[in-house]
Amino acid sequence: MAQTSYVIGLDFGTDSVRALLVNALTGEELKTHVSYYKRWAKGLYCNASLSQFRQHPLDYLESMEDVITQMLKSVSKDIIDNIKGISMATTGSTPVAVDKAGTPLALLPEFADNPNAMFILWKDHTAIKESDDINELARKSETDFTKYSGGIYSSEWFWSKILHVLRTDAKVAEKAFSWLEHSDWMPAVLTGNTDPLTLKRSRCSAGH
């Protein structure tokens, strides 16, 4: 008889990360748990009047550790020993500026409270001017590539947000070696390779 395997699913939402423990052979759901982002719950680094919504990377790291720890508290050692993988989903586009080591700038002391060094949440609309500029340029190009993405490039998407930070925050612009989507940084952390040049990237930023 095949050894039963288990998988953990993590869903990083806007307010919290939700965890699910599943029997990989039968699909049976064994345990669930939710951990809320502490800084986000306090409204830190956000300004609704500017449509600015940022999340600190520590909220993701701390909540991920907490949600898994709490979920597995009442699970047998046999099940824990047979957890074979972790899958995850995140919001997007939710990019962050990183240094050469792939560390989000907000995890560095000099940027710890700088919203521009944090993850720019999907619903952040501070980059409206930048998306307008991108759309205007696209219309003037020989090939208007926005026709492949609904006819418009959104302020919620990857390049608009990056351009906005580069234009408005010289310190972040100077320190940023690359930019990563939340969906790429979390697997990079778990697999131990956060090098922006070699980590595995999804199609999220390409799609945005």
CATH for 6-207, among 3.40.80.10, 3.60.40.10, 3.40.50.150, 3.30.420.40? 3.30.420.40
Please tell me the number of Cα atoms within 13 Å of 54 on its side-chain side. Answer: 26
Domain parsing of the chain, residue ranges: 6-207
| Residue 75, C-beta contacts closer than 8 angstroms, at least 6 positions apart | 21, 30, 31
CA angle (113 as vertex; 107, 117 as ends), nearest 5: 60
Burial of 111 (0-12, 13-18, 19+ CB in 10 A): buried
pLDDT tens figures, 4-52:
999 999 999 999 999 999 999 999 999 999 999 999 999 999 999 999 9
Note the pTM of the prediction, 2 decimals.
0.94
pLDDT at 204: 73
d(CA 14, CA 148): 27
Nearest to 126 by CA among 168, 98, 90, 96: 168
The two tokens of residue 55 are 């999340």
pLDDT tens figures, 76-127:
999 999 999 999 999 999 999 999 999 999 999 999 999 999 999 999 999 9
